Chain A
Amino acid sequence: MSHSSSEPLTTADGVPLKVSLRRAVRRSKLKALLLVSPLLAFLVIAFVMPIFDMLWRSVDNPEVSTHLSRTVEALKGWDGESLPEELAFAALVEDLREGQEERNLGLLSSRLNYEKSGMRSAISRTARRAADLEPPFRESLVEAHRAWGELDTWRLIQREARPYTPSYYLAAVDRQVSPEGEIVKVPAHLEIHVALFWRTFWMSAVITGLTLLLGYPIAYLLATLPLRRSNLLMILVLLPFWTSLLVRTTTWIAILQSQGVLNDMMVAIGMIADEARWQMIHNKVGTIVAMTHILLPFMILPLYSVMKTIPPSYMRAARSLGGKPLLSFRRVYFPLTIPGIAAGGILVFILAIGYYITPALVGGQSGRFITNYIAYHMQTSLNWGLAAAIASILLFVVIVFYLIFNRLIGVDKVKLG
C-alpha cells in the first residue's frame, strides 16, 4: 500500500503523468504563442519601436560631440568666463576642416542654429574657408565669422557636448537655457507651444462634452428601439464613419464658409444681413463643429454597448416603486451608463488631442492644435528632436489620463462593442 502510493502515476508508455502534462501544456502554450507572433511582431515593429525611437530622439544629442570632438576635448576644464585658449580655436579649425572634407557638418549647424540663430551660417561659412585659415586661429576665426568672438557660442558648444539634452523638452514648453546656464522662459514674442497645448486640451474637452451631449440620446434610442428600427439608426450612425475623413471635413467647409450653404440660408430667410455673414470656418468654431461630427461615433458605440446590457426592467422597477422619470433616470439608469460615458469620453478625448488633418483644414489660425505644430516640425522645419519632444509630452498626457481613468472606472469595465 505504502509502496504503490509513492509510485508516480505514468501514462501508457511509461512517462510520468506530471512530465507528460507539463509537456502538453508547454506545447499548447507554444502553439498559442506562434499564433499571435505575427501580430506581436507587427506591434513591436510598427508601434513599440517607433515610440521608443521617438522618446530617444527627443533627448538624443550626438551632433556636437561627434562633429566637434576635438573642440569639445579642448574645452574640458574651460571656466566659461572669458574666451577659451588658442588651443580650442585650433581644435575647432581642425574639426571644421575634417567636417568640410567629409561634408557632414549640416546636422551640426542645424542643431546649433536651434539654440542660437546665426550658427548655421557661422559654421557653413567658416567651414568653407577652414582650409585657408592661418594661425593664430583665434584672430582668423573671429575674422571669418563674428560668432566665434562671442562667449555665448563657446558656452553653447560646451553645454551641448553632452550626449543627452533637455533642450528639446524645454523648447516644447517655451523654455530655454540662458547663456548663464539657467532655465528661463523664452521671450514673450517667441512663446507659442504652451498656449497651443492648453488650447488642444480645452478644445478636446469641449469636443468630448459635445459628443456626449449629442451621442447620449442617440445611443439611448439605439439601445431601446425595436431591433428593426434601431438597425436602421445604427446604419445612419455608421455611414459617416465609413466615409473618408477628408470628405467629411471638406463638406463642413462647403456648409460653414462665409459664402456657404448655412450662411446663404440665413441670409435668404433674413436672419442676418448679407454683409454680416458669420465666420464659422477657419477658426475655433470650425474645428469644434467638424471634429464633434467626426468623433461622434466613437462616443455613441461604447455608450450603446453599455446601455444594451441594462435590462429595461430596472427602469420599470424604479418607476413602479414611485420614482418620477427624471429621478429614476438619475438614480438608476444614469449610474449604470457611467462606464460607457467614461469609455467614450476617454476614447474621444485621446483621439481629439491627436487629430491634425481636420484642424489644419478648417481650424484657420485660432483653431490649430499642437499636433499641427508637430507636423510642421516633422515636414518643414525638420526639427525632429522638437517634434519628438512635443509628441512625447502628448504621449505622457494620454498615459496620465488613462491611469486616472483606470483608477476611477477600471479598464476591465469597458466594452467597446
Chain B
Amino acid sequence: MNSSLRSFRKGTLGTAVALVGMSALGLSATAQAETLNIVSWGGAYSMSQHEAYDKPWMEKTGDEIVNIDRSGNALAGLRAQSQAGNVTWDLVDMLPADAMIACDEGLIEPLDHDELLADAPDGTPPSEDFVDGGLDDCFVASIVYSNIVAYNTEMFPEDQQPSTIEDVFDLENYPGKRALLRKPINNLEWALIADGVDRNDVYAMLETEEGIQRAFAKLDTIKDEVIWWEEGAQPPQLLADQEVAFASAYNGRIFNAMVTEDQPFEIIWDAQVFELDGWVVPTGKLDKVKDYLYFATDTQRLADQAKYISYGPARKSSADYVTTHAETGIEMEEHMPTYGPNFETALQKDDLFWADFSDELTQRFDAWLAQ
C-alpha cells in the first residue's frame, strides 16, 4: 500500500513535470516516454492491475501511468469528455454492458481483436482464446469476476452452516441481517432462483410481469432484515463487525478479507452471478495505447494478475499459468469463480437484458424500497 502510494505520488508529479515540459518546449506526445491516463476501479483491483501490468510496463518502456479511479462513473465521464471535445482518458476499465452503450454512441473505438491482441503461447488466436463474450465490438475482457453471497461462519452453529442461495432467503433456519446491493441487479436473479426457478429461465422470466412480481415477492420475505449497501468495501466490513450474517459482495473483496485479514468468512458459490470486466479505448486514443493494450492482455499478464486478486483471467490459456497468492502463498485455483466445483451452478449476467431493463427495474426497485 505504502509503496503504491509512493509510486502514485511519483506518478502524478512525473506527469505534471512532463506536461509542463512538453508544453514549454512545444513537443508533441510522441516524446520518448509517454503518460498514459488509465481509468479503473480503485482499491485492491487497481492494485492488482498496477502490480501485474503497470509495473512491468513502466520498467520496460519508461512510460508513466496515471491511475484514475473513475470506472464507477466511466460512461458518464466518457460522454461528458466527448461532449466537451476534450478526451483526457487513454484507456478505460469498464463493464461490458456499459461498453456496449459507449460503443453504440461512438465514444469508444471498435477493435480488431486478432490484429491488436497477442496470440496465446501455443499460437491460438485471441478470438478463440478468450472466454465467451470476452471480445465484443469495442471491448476486451481481462477478468471474470463474480457476485456472490458470503457469510460469517461464527454466526451460525458449526453443524448448520448455510450452503445454498435458498438459505439466504431462509430466515427461520438462518436468522440474522443480510446486506445486499442497493440495486435490482443480482437480487432479482437470486430471488427467482431461491424461489425454485431454473437458472436457465431466470432472464426469460424477468422479461415478464409475473416474473418480476415473483422476484419482488420473494425479496419481500426478507426485506425487513436487509441492510442495503452501495460501496464494494461495505459488505466485508459489515460481515466483520457481525452487523450482518450474510452479505452479497464481489468475490475478490471477500477473498481479500478471508486470506489477508484472516476473517472467518465463507463464500456461497451456489448461484454466483459472474460477469466480465475489461478494457475499452476512447475514440481517437487507439494509436497511443495500442502497445500497452497488447501487453496488458497477453496470457502471462492476465495470469499474473490472479496472484493479487481472486478474479479469473479472461483468457483460457492463462489458466495454466495461475500460481499462488503473492502475499500468503496459498493456491489461487480453488478461489477462482471459474474453478470447477464453484462454477457448477453459476449464472452469467445477461448484459443485453440489463441494458434494456436497468432503467425501469431500478426505478421499480427504488419505489419498492420506499414502500
- Which A residues touch B101, using CB under 8 A? 106, 110, 120
Interface centre among A102, A195, A380, by most B CB within 10 Å?
A380
A121:B104 contact, CB within 8 angstroms: no
B364 near A121: Cβ-Cβ < 8 Å: no
Set of chain A residues within 8 Å of B73, measured between Cβ atoms: 379-380
B359/A383 in contact, CB under 8 A: yes
Residues on A with C-beta less than 8 A from B107 are 106
Docked-complex contact A189 and B76, CB < 8 angstroms: no
B104 touching A106 by the CB < 8 A rule? yes
Binary interface encoding of chain B residues 159-187 relative to chain A, with 1 for a CB under 8 A from any of its CBs, else 0: 00000000000000000000000000000
- Asked whether, in the complex, the Cβ of A365 is within 8 Å of the Cβ of B100, the reply is no
Chain B proximity of A390: nearest CB distance (Å): 13
Q: How far is the CA of A117 from the CA of B75 in the complex (A)?
A: 20
Contact B362–A381 (Cβ < 8 Å): yes
Chain B positions within 8 Å of A366 at CB level: 370
B-chain residues with CB within 8 Å of residue A118 when the two chains form the complex = 356-357
Interface centre among A105, A107, A192 (most CB of B within 10 A): A192
Residues of A with C-beta under 8 A to B352: 121, 125
A382 at the interface (CB under 8 A from B): yes
Are A113 and B359 CB-contacts (below 8 A) given A103-B104, A103-B106, A124-B100? yes
Complexed CA–CA distance, A119 and B369 (Å): 26
A-facing residues in B215-258 (Cβ within 8 Å): 228, 241
Are B105 and A104 closer than 8 Å at their CB atoms? yes
Contacting residues of chain A (370-384) with chain B, CB-CB under 8 angstroms:
378-383
Q: Which residues of B contact A125 (CB under 8 A)?
A: 352
With a CB–CB cut-off of 8 A, which chain B residues contact A109?
104
**Bound form: Cα–Cα A103–B363 in Å:** 29
Beta-carbon contact of A106 and B362 below 8 Å: no
Shortest CB distance B138–A (Å): 9
Give the secondary structure class of B's interface.
helix
Given A124-B100, A190-B360, the answer on whether A107 and B367 have CB atoms closer than 8 Å is: no
Question: Is B303 interfacial (CB 8 A cutoff)?
Answer: no
Residues of chain B within 8 A of A188, CB atoms compared: 367
**Docked pose: A383 CA to B357 CA in angstroms:** 14
Asked whether B39 is an interface residue with its Cβ less than 8 Å from the other chain, the reply is no
* B366 interface residue (CB < 8 Å to A): yes
**Is there a chain A Cβ closer than 8 Å to B102's Cβ?**
yes
Q: Which of chain B's residues have a CB closer than 8 A to the CB of A196?
A: 370
A117 touches B359 (CB 8 A): yes
B368 on interface, CB distance cutoff 8 Å: yes
**Per-residue interface assignment for chain A, residues 82 to 120, with 1 indicating a CB less than 8 Å from any chain B CB and 0 otherwise:** 000000000000000000001111110110011001111
Is chain A's binding surface mostly helix, strand, loop or mixed?
Answer: helix
Shortest distance from the beta carbon of A78 to any chain B beta carbon, whole Å:
26
Q: What 0/1 pattern do residues 60 to 86 of B give for CB contact below 8 A with A?
A: 000000000000010110010000000
In the complex, how many angstroms separate the beta carbon of B257 from the nearest chain A beta carbon? 19
Scan B277-308; emit 1 where CB is below 8 A from any A CB, else 0: 00000000000000000000000000000000
Contacting A at CB under 8 A, from B316-371, are: 352, 355-360, 362-364, 366-370
Q: For residue A364, which residue of chain B has the nearest CB?
A: B228
Q: Which residues of A contact B228 (CB under 8 A)?
A: 365
Expressed in whole angstroms, the minimum distance between the Cβ of A106 and any Cβ of chain B is 3
Closest to B241 in A: A259
Q: Which residues of B contact A192 (CB under 8 A)?
A: 363, 366-367, 370
Other A-B contacts than A104-B106, A366-B370, 6 sampled, CB-CB below 8 A, are A106-B104, A124-B100, A189-B364, A189-B368, A195-B370, A380-B73
Are B76 and A113 interface neighbours, CB within 8 A?
no
**Which of B76, B103, B110 is packed against the most chain A CB atoms within 10 Å?**
B76
Docked-complex contact B357 and A382, CB < 8 angstroms:
no
A174 to chain B, nearest CB (A): 9
- Chain B residues contacting A191 (CB-CB under 8 Å) are 367
Contact: B356 with A190, CB < 8 Å? no
28 sample A-B contacts, Cβ–Cβ < 8 Å, listed by A number = A103-B104, A103-B106, A106-B101, A106-B103, A106-B105, A107-B105, A109-B104, A113-B359, A117-B359, A118-B356, A119-B356, A120-B355, A120-B356, A121-B352, A124-B100, A188-B367, A190-B360, A192-B363, A195-B370, A196-B370, A259-B241, A365-B369, A379-B76, A380-B73, A380-B76, A381-B358, A381-B362, A383-B359
With A102-B106, A107-B105 as given contacts, are A190 and B367 in contact (CB-CB < 8 Å)? yes
Q: Verify B104–A105 contact, CB threshold 8 A.
A: yes
Residue from the set B103, B105, B110, B362 with the largest chain A CB neighbour count within 10 Å:
B105
